[in-house]
Chains A and B, each alone.
Chain A
Amino acid sequence: AQKVTQAQTEISVVEKEDVTLDCVYETRDTTYYLFWYKQPPSGELVFLIRRNSFDEQNEISGRYSWNFQKSTSSFNFTITASQVVDSAVYFCARETPGANNLFFGTGTRLTVIP
């Protein structure tokens, strides 16, 4: 099966610390898309980023940054200077063109302690 693995089930950090959430994926496709979603305690799923397999450039958006490494099949997510509002479950997911659905990892629960 083409899996998405988020080995870190739960992470706790103290406010203002940096934290990296790991995501490793399997795929047999040459073209694919990877995503990160955030699920805060209120329950909704919030889109954070979409990356296609041909674009390995790292991306930064404010305190968030993503490191996509095709050679190691990883798409890691770093939060710099974490804040209490970052406390949530973060899901990594992949979509294969033509499959029309997202396959999620099991999620990482991040708790930021004030």
Chain B
Amino acid sequence: AAGVIQSPRHLIKEKRETATLKCYPIPRHDTVYWYQQGPGQDPQFLISFYEKMQSDKGSIPDRFSAQQFSDYHSELNMSSLELGDSALYFCASSFRRSGPDTQYFGPGTRLTVL
């Protein structure tokens, strides 16, 4: 079965640079979620989109923005990168149209800020 695809898998950036992470949900899934997992920590919810509209917002810094496009893929844009942004970024997708559903996670993008 098709899974959530994330690209790139690894990304190295310098401080103050920008980064764009991409997420392609499981086909027919209408909801995308972004999570950040720091070293040795649990995943923290950043933001979600349902049917291309922002659905819920968590602890996402103002330097970050995201959107979901007409083909349901999503991009997380990160600007003015800081050392503390180094983390594993997960995208998850689910099918919420008929009610709460399980979130399936992609393999993650490991961002390193130098």
Interface residues of A (CB under 8 A from B): 33, 35, 37, 43-47, 50, 91, 95, 97, 99-107
Contact = CB atoms under 8 A, between A and B. Distances in A.
Which secondary structure characterizes the binding site on chain B? strand
15 contacts: A33-B100, A43-B107, A43-B108, A43-B110, A45-B43, A45-B90, A45-B108, A47-B105, A91-B42, A100-B48, A100-B50, A102-B45, A103-B45, A104-B44, A106-B42
B56 interface: yes
Q: How large is the interface on B (under 10, 10 to 19, 20 to 34, 35 or more residues)?
A: 20 to 34
Contact of A104 (B42, B48, B99): B42
Contacts of B103: 47, 95, 102
A100 B31 contact: yes
Contacts, number: 55
B53 to A, nearest CB: 11
Interface of B: 31, 33, 35, 41-45, 48, 50, 55-56, 58, 88, 90, 92, 96, 99-100, 102-108, 110
A102 B106 CA distance: 15
A53 to B, nearest CB: 11
Contacts of A47: 102-105
Contacts of B100: 33, 95, 97
